[in-house]
């Protein structure tokens, strides 16, 4: 975990919400110079901090609505840091909790050098990353509809459906399969209509994303496609969730951010149960887990490596170890700008 330790003349902690924000400003001696609730408007914020802009640093907890404030500070050339919400537990403790107290705790962490930093994703690629995440949401909703059709088929003990329903051709004549019960047919027809809509929407999003990645980081995208098991969507996910590999000092930092390794916990020479499984980027964890499973398809050498990992670690842990190996390979690929070397992975 990285902490912000740079010294400033003034420190501004903001407890940010959708419509309001509580602002607390301290000077370098720890004296409160401003403590006020403001509306979430750029003009109101700039007026409030105007007397303290010289040497000011603004700190905000990472919430869904931080984009506009980060962009405002960038435009106004004001230093800005984003706080890691999971690590900022100090603002959630205590007998009393409200916006006024939270803003005071945030600025105290910032001034004391214990403000846990999150990555301020750049404005130019931020919206495209969010669009990619939205696509994944649509895909999962589509999967729920397909699962409902299968469950309905099982519920009425009908003959197994032929072919995968994910393919449009296998959904033709599906209503007749459910007999003459009109309510059941209407339920399936509603599912099919939603699936067709999702298919069209997802296809359009994928075309847009494929064109966007060539403008943002086409070289990294093509490097990732050289890894067996990493296709178009997984490569897009890795490009937009990583942004730049330079922000990770080592492969260990990258694996930790990708949720591919667990943390060590111990005290007085005794080891505790590993934790921190939810610290990091859930989208990268999903991408590398999918890549590990796809890596084994039609890959005899990869399957041989997996068998060795099963003997060493057991079947339950072997897939996670393989995902971590792929994560480390991706780190050095992007850092060295080299395509995937299968022999190096198998030798390791």
Local confidence band at 271 (pLDDT 50, 70, 90 cut-offs): confident
Share of the chain above pLDDT 70, in %: 98
User: Taking the chain, what is the end-to-end CA distance rounded to the nearest angstrom?
Assistant: 28
Q: Tell me the per-residue pLDDT of 171-226, one tens digit each, with 9 for 90 and over.
A: 998 999 998 889 999 999 999 999 999 999 999 999 999 999 999 999 999 999 99
* Core vs surface per residue 194-209: b (16+ CB within 10 A) or e: ebeebeeeeeebeeeb
**250: pLDDT strictly greater than 90:** yes
**169: pLDDT strictly greater than 80:** yes
- Cβ proximity of 88 and 16 under 8 Å: no
Q: What per-residue confidence (pLDDT) applies to 220?
A: 97
Mean pLDDT of 240-265: 93
Characterize the bridge pairing of strands 20-27 and 32-39: antiparallel
Q: What per-residue confidence (pLDDT) applies to 269?
A: 76
**71: pLDDT strictly greater than 80:** yes
* Segment among 304-308, 313-317, 324-328 with least mean pLDDT: 313-317
Residue 117: is it exposed, middle or buried by C-beta count within 10 angstroms (0-12/13-18/19+)? middle
Q: What per-residue confidence (pLDDT) applies to 344?
A: 86
Higher-confidence position of 42 and 342: 42
Share of the chain above pLDDT 90, in %: 84
Domain ranges of the chain: 3-120, 125-216, 232-264+275-347
**277: pLDDT strictly greater than 80:** no
Mean pLDDT of 286-315: 94
Helix (H) or strand (E) holding 56, with range, is strand 56-61
Q: What per-residue confidence (pLDDT) applies to 158?
A: 92
Which CATH topology does 3-120 take?
Nucleotidyltransferase; domain 5 (3.30.420)
Question: For residue 275, how far is the Cα from the chain centroid?
Answer: 19
DSSP 36: E
Higher-confidence position of 234 and 268: 234
Helix (H) or strand (E) holding 3, with range, is strand 3-4
Please state, in angstroms and rounded to a whole number, the distance separating the CA atoms of residues 158 and 153.
Answer: 6
Mean pLDDT of 59-85: 95
Query: Comparing C-alpha atoms, which of 60, 74, 54, 47 is closest to residue 21?
Result: 60
The whole-chain average pLDDT of the chain stands at 93
**97: pLDDT strictly greater than 90:** no
- DSSP lists the bridge partners of residue 270 as 267
Please state, in angstroms and rounded to a whole number, the distance separating the CA atoms of residues 19 and 335.
Answer: 41
**279: pLDDT strictly greater than 90:** no
Q: What per-residue confidence (pLDDT) applies to 151?
A: 96
Q: What per-residue confidence (pLDDT) applies to 90?
A: 64
Mean pLDDT of 111-124: 94
**81: pLDDT strictly greater than 90:** yes
Local confidence band at 262 (pLDDT 50, 70, 90 cut-offs): confident
Higher-confidence position of 311 and 92: 311
């Amino acid at each position: 975990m990285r902490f912000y330790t740079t010294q400033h003349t003034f420190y501004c902690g903001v407890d940010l919400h959708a419509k309001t924000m509580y602002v607390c400003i301290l000077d370098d001696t720890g004296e409160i110079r401003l403590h006020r609730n403001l509306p979430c408007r750029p003009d109101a914020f700039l007026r409030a901090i105007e007397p303290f802009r010289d040497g000011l640093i603004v700190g905000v907890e990472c919430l869904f609505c931080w984009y506009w404030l980060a962009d405002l500070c960038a435009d106004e050339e004001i230093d800005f840091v984003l706080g890691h919400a999971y690590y900022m537990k100090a603002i959630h403790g205590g007998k009393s909790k409200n916006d006024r107290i939270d803003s005071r705790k945030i600025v105290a962490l910032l001034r004391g050098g214990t403000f846990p930093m999150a990555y301020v994703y750049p404005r130019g690629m931020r919206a495209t990353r969010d669009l990619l995440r939205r696509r994944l949401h649509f895909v999962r909703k589509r999967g729920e509809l397909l699962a409902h059709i299968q469950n309905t088929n099982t519920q009425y003990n009908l003959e197994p459906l032929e072919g995968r329903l994910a393919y449009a051709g296998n959904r033709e004549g599906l209503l007749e399969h459910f007999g003459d019960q009109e309510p059941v047919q209407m339920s399936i027809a509603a599912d099919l209509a939603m699936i067709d809509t999702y298919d069209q929407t997802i296809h359009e999003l994928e075309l847009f994303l494929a064109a966007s990645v060539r403008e943002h980081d086409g070289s990294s995208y093509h490097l990732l496609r050289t890894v067996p098991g990493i296709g178009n969507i997984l490569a897009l996910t890795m490009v937009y969730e990583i942004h730049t590999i330079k922000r990770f000092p080592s492969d260990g930092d990258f694996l930790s951010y990708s949720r591919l390794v667990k943390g060590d916990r111990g005290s007085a020479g005794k080891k505790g149960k590993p934790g921190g499984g939810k610290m990091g980027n859930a989208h990268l964890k999903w991408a590398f887990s999918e890549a590990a499973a796809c890596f084994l398809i039609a890959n005899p050498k990869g399957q041989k490596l997996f068998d060795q990992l099963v003997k060493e670690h057991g079947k339950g842990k072997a897939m996670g170890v393989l995902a971590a190996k792929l994560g480390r390979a991706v780190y050095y690929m992007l850092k060295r700008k080299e395509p995937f070397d299968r022999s190096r992975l198998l030798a390791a």
